[in-house]
Amino acid sequence: GSEEEEVEEEVPETGEENPEFIKRQDQKRSDLDEQLKEYINEWRKQRSKEEDELKRLKEKQAKRKVSRAEEEKRLAQKKKEDEERRVREIEEKKQRDIEEKRQRLEEAEKKRQVMLQAMKESNKTGPNFTIQKKSDNFGLSSAQLERNKTKEQLEEEKKISLSIRIKPLSIDNLGTEKLRVKAQELWECIIKLETEKYDLEERQKRQDYDVSITTQLIAEAVNTALYLGNIPFNTTFICQQLKELKERQKQQLRHKALKKGLDPEALTGKHPPKIQVASKYERRVDTRSYDDKKKLFEGDLEKLNKDFMEKVWQERTDQFGGRQKGEYTPTPYPPSTRTMRQIYLRTGFKDLAVTLCWHQGHNKEDTH
């Protein structure tokens, strides 16, 4: 009974019996509610500020985007106008250059026609050259200006020259006889052009050869003068000219090698290019050695044939001498037909006269 009393004494006091405790709890709840309200108000204010800031940034971004689009549009328009103006200026300059080149080519064609006409005249008098007026070419000659032209300029001049020289062919409303006459004229024109082309190609070959020989001679002369030390002219200028000549010659050799389907550097070395003496098929099929091919290439075919025939003859002679001979007892009298047939079949001689001579020889040996 005493233990139950002690347990009842240790039971804590409840809120109904302690008003102070209830008051403290209410105070805590009210403080928490106020803090929560303040926190909510602060959060709402911060949220409204962030929303306002975000809205302001979005408006600013939209304005910036619109202004950037307008600026890009303006720049694109300006760039387009500049490009159109540049293209227009290039086209105008190109047209002016074409007109100037056309005029120069027309003048050159007229001069060429006049020169050809003058060459046909037998009673030609006066100098055979013309002195051209100096122009603003920075002291360069016409040949140097021609060499300094680019590939596009040369192609353009070629097109202009062809447009001047090639006349339109009008064969409308022409009869059979007139068409035949026109075809004959065109055929004669083709023959003339092919003749001129061949002459120019041969002239170009001779000029290339002359340039090569002259370059070598000048190089040898300059090297000799440099070695001896007696140079009466400007060495730097001569060396520069030699370099230009050698470089030009190398460029020509490269173009020639490309036209022939060779390596670009095949003709520019010290030694001439290799000669192809056999195709891939011949190299596979032909089993002869290099010496045999070399002798054949050098023209020793008769000697090769003679050696081959001697070799074959020797092999057949050895084969005939090493054959197996049968036993034969010669008779002192001329053989009968049956005996001749046996000798013929045994010896293997193909001629009856040879068989008879062989038999008589054996008979003589036996009698002696």
Q: Where is pLDDT greater, at 258 or 343?
A: 258
Of 1-10, 60-69, 211-220, 275-284, which one has max mean pLDDT? 60-69
**pLDDT tens digit string along 132-172?**
555 545 555 565 666 677 788 888 888 887 877 777 777 78
Strand segments (E) across the chain: none
How far apart CA 255 and CA 74 sit, in angstroms, is 51
On the question of pLDDT at 276 being above 80, the answer is no
Of 233, 232, 241, nearest to 214 by C-alpha is 241
Average pLDDT of the residues in 219-230:
67
User: What pLDDT does residue 3 have?
Assistant: 45
How far apart CA 50 and CA 44 sit, in angstroms, is 10
Of 115, 135, 233, nearest to 144 by C-alpha is 135
Query: Could you give the residue ranges of the DSSP H alpha helices within the chain?
Result: 2-10, 19-120, 142-147, 151-165, 176-228, 235-259, 280-285, 290-297, 301-321, 337-347, 352-367
On the question of pLDDT at 213 being above 50, the answer is yes
Distances (CA, A) of 182 to 96, 167, 169, 189, 258: 37, 14, 10, 10, 39
Lowest mean pLDDT among 68-77, 217-226, 336-345: 336-345
Q: Where is pLDDT greater, at 241 or 318?
A: 318
